[in-house]
Amino acid sequence: MDESFKVKRLTRLYESCNRCGLPVLTCICKIVSPINTKAKFWIIASKRELYRPSSTGRLLKLINPNSTEIFLWERTHPSLKLLENIANHRGKTYLVFPAESEELAAKTVNKVEEGAGAFILIDGTWKEARRIFRKSDYLKDLPLVSLKPACESKFSLRRGSVEGTLCTIEAAMEILKLTDEIEQEQIMGEYFNVFLKHFKAGVSSHLPRDYVSSTFNFEEDYGDKS
Using DSSP's 3-state secondary structure scheme, residue 145 falls into strand
CB atoms within 10 A of CB 134: 10
b/e burial code for range 42-71 (CB count within 10 A of at least 16 → b): bbbbbeebbebbbbbbbbbbbbbeebbbbb
* Residue 176 included in any domain: yes
pLDDT value at residue 215? 38
pLDDT value at residue 157? 65
* Residue 221 included in any domain: no
pLDDT value at residue 128? 93
pLDDT value at residue 16? 96
* Residue 137 included in any domain: yes
* Residue 120 included in any domain: yes
Closest CA to 43 of 134, 132, 120: 120
Q: What is the DSSP letter of 69?
A: E
What is the chain's pLDDT, residue by residue, as a tens digit (226 residues)? 555 678 999 999 999 999 999 999 999 999 999 999 999 999 999 999 999 999 999 999 999 999 999 999 998 999 999 999 999 998 899 999 988 777 888 888 878 876 679 999 999 888 899 999 999 999 999 999 999 887 888 876 665 455 557 999 999 999 999 999 999 999 999 999 999 999 999 999 998 887 655 334 555 555 554 4
pLDDT value at residue 155? 79
* Residue 46 included in any domain: yes
* Residue 36 included in any domain: yes
The total number of structural domains that make up the chain: 1
Structural domain for 185, as ranges: 24-205
b/e burial code for range 92-108 (CB count within 10 A of at least 16 → b): bbbbbbbbeeeebeebe
